[in-house]
Amino acid sequence: MSAHPRPGAGAASSVHGRAGVVVGIDIGGTKTAAALVRPDGRLAHRVEAPTPASQGAEAILDTVAALAAETARRAGGVPAAYGVGSAGGFDEHGTVVHSTDHLAGWSGTDVAGGLRARLGAPVVVVNDVHAAALGEQWAGAPDGFLFVAVGTGIGGAVVSDGRLLRGASGMAGSVGHVRIPSSRRRICSCGGVDHVEAFASGPGIELTYAEFSARSLGLREIGRLARGGDVVAAQVIRLAAEELGESLAASVVAVDPGTVLIGGGVSGLGELFVGPLADRLRASLRPPFSAVQVTVARAGPDAALVGAGRLALAASRSAEVHDVAPSRAE
């Protein structure tokens, strides 16, 4: 069998794939990445390309399949399974049930089926933040934690007793879409009003800084100014962190995670952001919940790739992807 699965080729039985050889895929609004994921969580043969987000589902799937096939070619073998993390909510069969505006025509797409037809191997698909949480598990996260990804938006995932909680829509843990009290009316990316994502995400912090200073700066520059003693920059970061911390209190009480991991690009602000967030979160709680630990996530920017690979490893042990529940990934 060819070592280079051809996008568009008919599906082949997964028994032809090499046991333990899996590919993780991360579909983002601007770029898509694929990599071989080793059993110890290390990545190899990583490739990426711009996501044709405005061109529709078929174009996106073609790009994903081409990247996955290139990774397989470089690895010199046919993967036993592919794992995919993507924005949106997915049912247990890998079909989009809740879409994102960043990927045109994504709603209702059978992502798993479309990629399975192109790649000829089992495919398992989950929300990208859920995949990142599984990546954090591989990086040594505890058996129970709330993962909060703070970047262009704010997403979340819940792991309880070692299992990922998917939820009815495949989007359990969507902590960014909680409304907070605010006199600064803002429209969230989802269309909601005054969701915490609109204030505490990277773009939210940049907008607040512009409102406070009449200057438009990127998050990295705002962070640099804050570290250098700029009072306005530090105040803006603190305000965003405290708003997010307070909004997370209800989630902590609901799932009692023990640990909150902060990931995403905004976590790069370090203690400037995580410190005030942790203080406000604990101040909003009573014992025993106020003992929650808050730390920066460890898996890094490729956490979703690693987590998707973890799902693929589980899928490679099953003849049918729908027999593999993401909440039971090993």
* % of the chain at pLDDT higher than 90: 70
More confident residue, 30 or 290: 290
Return d(Cα 90, Cα 125) in angstroms, integer: 7
pLDDT tens figures, 173-206: 999 999 998 878 898 888 888 999 999 999 999 9
Q: Are residues 76 and 203 in the same domain?
A: no
Return d(Cα 83, Cα 134) in angstroms, integer: 12
| pLDDT given for residue 110 in this prediction | 94
Q: Are residues 54 and 110 in the same domain?
A: yes
Q: Are residues 112 and 152 in the same domain?
A: no
Q: Are residues 212 and 316 in the same domain?
A: no
pLDDT tens figures, 36-61: 999 888 999 999 999 999 999 999 99
Task: Say if residue 297's pLDDT is above 90.
Answer: yes
Between the alpha carbon of residue 25 and those of residues 246, 281, 313, the distances in Å are 33, 33, 13
Return d(Cα 225, Cα 222) in angstroms, integer: 5
Q: Are residues 195 and 323 in the same domain?
A: no
pTM (2 d.p.): 0.86
According to DSSP, the residues that pair with 293 across neighbouring strands are 259
Return d(Cα 195, Cα 154) in angstroms, integer: 10
Q: Are residues 75 and 157 in the same domain?
A: no
Task: Say if residue 324's pLDDT is above 50.
Answer: no
What is the total count of domains within the chain? 2
| pLDDT given for residue 72 in this prediction | 93
Q: Are residues 73 and 149 in the same domain?
A: no
Task: Say if residue 7's pLDDT is above 80.
Answer: no
Flag whether 28 is in a domain. yes
pLDDT tens figures, 64-113: 999 999 999 999 888 999 999 998 888 888 888 777 767 888 989 999 99
* Cα 275–chain centre separation: 22
Q: Which of 156, 322, 136, 317 is nearest to 244 (CA)?
A: 156
pLDDT tens figures, 234-286: 999 999 999 999 999 999 999 999 999 999 999 999 999 999 999 999 999 99
Return d(Cα 56, Cα 53) in angstroms, integer: 7
| pLDDT given for residue 317 in this prediction | 73
Return d(Cα 264, Cα 202) in angstroms, integer: 9
| pLDDT given for residue 20 in this prediction | 67
According to DSSP, the residues that pair with 22 across neighbouring strands are 37, 81
| pLDDT given for residue 201 in this prediction | 96
Q: Would you say 197 and 204 are in contact if contact means Cβ atoms under 8 Å apart?
A: yes
| Helices first, then strands: H and E counts in the chain | 9, 12
Q: Is 263 helix (H, G, I), strand (E, B) or coil?
A: strand
Task: Pinpoint the alpha helices (H) of 50-196.
Answer: 57-75, 111-119, 128-138
